Every structure is written in structure tokens, then in C-alpha cells.
Chains A and B, each alone.
Chain A
């Protein structure tokens, strides 16, 4: 968990560097900042059955938000242009090779076909899921360490 001052500093930094989106994850704490103008583009496709995974930012972040940068919890809304990467098996979703490693893919990352996006583990069988298209990661639908079902959307890629 970050202090209010740390969150303010982050917002300033994100605004200064003109990032469209910024995501920070530390254990159970997750903070996502994105510019208001990107909000509609980053909304979830309507067909996703699972709850959106981006956690609500803590209340202090909203109070401290600069005009150009708003912290928000994203909510499902129609989105037609995203290509969905789905899970081929039932298992546990991991965004990185180990608990301390960098995620394979973050929102905003450009990806090529064949790029590893995540691992789905079932009974110590670590299944690397690769992108079947080139594009930009627009949505990540599942939290690290959560179970996923066959066919469940994992990533939304803007082609």
C-alpha cells in the first residue's frame, strides 16, 4: 500500500511523462492510472463474462488526481475492436515467470504474434500462452494467481 503522498508523486510523474496509462502492483495492492481521454478505448468488451480485473484505486488517489490524469476502476462497456486471447485450458493465471519477475505483458505494450503473454498452470504444467496476433495490449482481464476456465478471455489486444 502506498501513502497518499507517494500516490500524489506518482500521479505527478505520470502526468509529467505524459503516459497514457500506468499500472503498479505490489502484492495485493494495485493502482492503475489512466488519462481520461483513454477511458473509452480501454473499456472491456461486452462479451467478457468475468468481472473486470483492474481494481479500484484507493480513494485518496481520486482526491489527488490532477485534471489530466484520473484514477478509476474500469467498468465493462462495449468495445468492438479488441482481439481476445483466451485460455486453452483450466488453470491458474500468472502474469510473470515467477512471483518476483516482471510481467510478460503490460497494458500499452506492443506485442508481435508468438509473444508470450502469460502462463496458465494446471498441475505444475506451465502453459505459456502466446499472442496469435500483433497489436497493443489494451486489456488484461484476469488477476495474477487467479483460476481461469477454458475459453475465458485473458487479454484484449488492439490490432
Chain B
């Protein structure tokens, strides 16, 4: 088992930003914080961090595999969070591609992975994970879309217990990725995610939107989308929004 070395802060701007600044840190260095004053998500969106009620954590990886297989770490992180929450009794767990974890249709966890590399060598990955654990309510603007483990299970859970279980699972899935490649990860992902196949979605990107029905993942983990014209498109990035049956 990997030796995670955990550094805990009471208040920090962002665990990802802090760990990114530790340029010489070893693989499996972990930063956690009780509170983040500037937690971030994809494309610099803010992440709401309720002091003491959530897990806000970043893990440093230094993967040496082929660059094209590295994005699978994005999927295995989603699997890790989903399985951990199920272990602690959460029902209705789903993964929205690539790695937002939902409970009963609301977001319970978000992941932001940041990599820095000069050329193709010396890749450092900062895997940022936020999990809503003991929040009993959310600000008005998040109330309809966010939930927590406490709201789902109707009981409190120690944040450290989630942290340890999550790191334990993360290490195991990371070893699967390093030793066995992507097939097992994609198979497990498709078991856990209702978004992998048969979901009507819209993909929002900086350069336009694309609607269609999901039809699995390719070997790299990219989402396959069948457009209304019957064309199969490969989605590498974008925000996935679920469509109702009667929307186009």
C-alpha cells in the first residue's frame, strides 16, 4: 500500500493551489483543509467549502505511464469517490462523466485534476477532491443541485474516516491503472455511471454545444455521443448536462 503523507491545514486558499506550489513534493503527498477560502472547480469556477463539514483534499501523483493513458486517472478518481460513499451508506450514487459524483441526482462530490509538464516528461498531477459530508443545508444558489452524505444517510460521518477510506481505495485503483491498464477502469466506470450509455445529454464547451445520446466510452475514457443525425462523436472535454426526453 502506498504511504500517503498527509498535511492538514485549518484554512487554506485552495488545496490544489497549495500542493501545486510544492514543486519538489514526493508522489502521494496529500494536503487536506478544514476550510478553503477559494476552492476551485473546472475552468476556475468556485467550489463552495463549508468549514469542517466537507473533505477538501489534494493528492500529488507523478505518473510515468504513456501520456495518452493519464486521463483515465480522471475516471478512476470518480470511481474511488463513488465507491467510498457507497461504503458509507449513500444510496442513489451515480457518476456524471467524467467524474462528478451525484447522490439522488444532486452533486455530492467534485474533482479537479491539474497537471503540469514541460514537454512530455516530469508530469506532476494534482488530484483535487471535494466531498460534501456533514452539511445539513446549502446556500440558496446550490440548494437544488447539491447534497451531502449527511443529507442522504441522515447521520454524520467523521471527515477523517471518509478521507482514509477514500485514499485506501484510490491507491488500489491507481495500482490497477498502473499495472493492468484501462480496461478494468472503464468496465467498472460503466457499471457505476448511468451517463455512460443511453443518456440524452447536452455537452457544453467553450466553442459551442453538442446534444445527443451517450453510447459508451472509448478505450481512452472519452465519451461517445450519437447525435440526432446518427453521427458518433467523441467527447474529450465539456460540461455534461442531462436532457429530459422531450428536449432536443
Chain A residues packing against B (C-beta within 8 Å): 88-92, 94, 97-99, 101, 113-114, 116, 121-132, 143-147, 150
Contacts and interface: CB of A to CB of B under 8 A. Distances in A.
Contacts of B161: none
A131 B236 CA distance: 24
B99 A124 contact: yes
Contact of A121 (B44, B220, B237): B237
Given A122-B236, A124-B112, A125-B113, A88 B73 contact: no
Interface of B: 42-45, 67-68, 70-71, 73-75, 97-99, 111-120, 123, 125, 205-207, 220-222, 236-238
A122 B45 CA distance: 17
Closest 7 CB pairs of A and B: A145-B207, A145-B206, A98-B44, A122-B71, A127-B115, A123-B98, A123-B74
Contacts, number: 99
A123 B222 contact: yes
A131 B237 contact: no
A132 B236 contact: no
Contacts of B115: 125-128
A92 B97 CA distance: 16
B98 A124 contact: yes
A132 B119 contact: yes
B21 to A, nearest CB: 13
A126 B73 CA distance: 12
Contact of A90 (B73, B119, B120, B236): B236
Contacts of A145: 205-207
A94 B97 CA distance: 20
Contacts of B205: 92, 145
A130 B49 CA distance: 30
B118 A123 contact: no
A90 B68 contact: yes
24 contacts: A88-B117, A88-B120, A91-B236, A91-B237, A99-B206, A101-B44, A121-B236, A122-B70, A122-B71, A122-B236, A123-B71, A123-B97, A124-B99, A124-B237, A125-B73, A125-B113, A126-B113, A126-B114, A126-B115, A127-B115, A127-B116, A127-B117, A128-B117, A145-B206
B206 A128 contact: no
B237 A150 contact: no
Given A88-B67, A94-B206, A101-B44, A126 B112 contact: yes
A146 to B, nearest CB: 6
Nearest to B42: A124
A144 B71 contact: no
